Structure 1
Amino acid sequence: MKSVSYAGLSFQTADEVADALLRLATALGVKEKAETVEIPIVEEGGALNIVQLVVGPASQFISRHVDSPYADPESGEVVERLDQRTRLLELPRAAAVSASEYDRFDIDQPS
């Protein structure tokens, strides 16, 4: 289990969730975007809960391993969803090109 600190608060979640959250935060920072995410956490006493976070370019997370007597929250779907969002941010995007820009790529014209 990992303890994640964010905005002055800390929460515990599965290692895989914490790692996926940090990967998403990194990708969002590069793209200068923000998103809201929900992740499962384990509260003091072992109760399961959900935390909502706004993750973006200014997000500053600290994650560290902690020993916990409680079971990790179910994380498979959450990790897949976070990783999918990260992959989508890393894909190249098509961009509009003006006619004058397009002409410079015409292979039939001499350089």
Structure 2
Amino acid sequence: MSDPEEMKRMSYAGGTFVTSDEVADALVHFVAIVPRNRRNQVVIVPGFDAGGTPSPVALVLGPTSQIMSQHEAVSYAEPETQGVADRVREQARSHENTARIDSSNGKANLDYDVF
């Protein structure tokens, strides 16, 4: 059996998921710097479900989001997240809402960035 990996468990909207330290820190940073007049944004990051299966995690983050992270030892390898945290931080700085709804044809279609 391999040594346990150290990642962070994120709590959000009554649920939890595990992701890399770097991505967890970027998400906390995102919520901390979002101005009060900014709209919510969809952010999708790599994570793991409760059983340790890799699973993308979609979050709607905005000025009233409440998230928490804490260190956790896990038995599975950290996901590949190269550049993900940088893109989350850039999205936070950009003040652009990347979740757009196109309803010109009467049907709503979400268009958002996946990290």
Q: How does 1:31-42 map to 2 (within 5 A)?
A: 31-42=37-48
Aligned residue number for residue 91 of structure 2: 85
Structure 1 segments unaligned to the other structure (5+ residues): 90-111
Distance (Å, rounded) in 1 between the aligned partners of 2:93 and 2:9: 24
Distance (Å, rounded) in 2 between the aligned partners of 1:28 and 1:58: 9
TM-score by length of 2: 0.70
Higher alpha-carbon Rg: 1
Give the total of aligned pairs. Answer: 89
Higher strand residue share: 2
Report if the CA contact (8 A) 2:17-2:50 is conserved. no
Aligned residue number for residue 92 of structure 1: none
Local SS of the residue matching 2:45 = strand
Structure 2 segments unaligned to the other structure (5+ residues): 1-6, 96-115
Instruction: Give, in angstroms, the shift of residue 27 of structure 1.
Output: 1.9
Higher mean alpha-carbon deviation, 30-39 vs 18-27, is at: 30-39
Structure 1 residue ranges, 4+ long, deviating more than 4 angstroms after superposition = none
Report if the CA contact (8 A) 1:42-1:72 is conserved. no
TM-score by length of 1: 0.72
2:60 maps to 1:54: yes
Q: Which digits, 9 at most, give the CA deviation of each residue in 1:19-64, with x for residues without a partner?
A: 0011111122445331100011112343211011100011000110
2:26 maps to 1:20: yes
Alignment RMSD, CA only?
1.5
1:65 equivalent among 68, 71, 83: 71
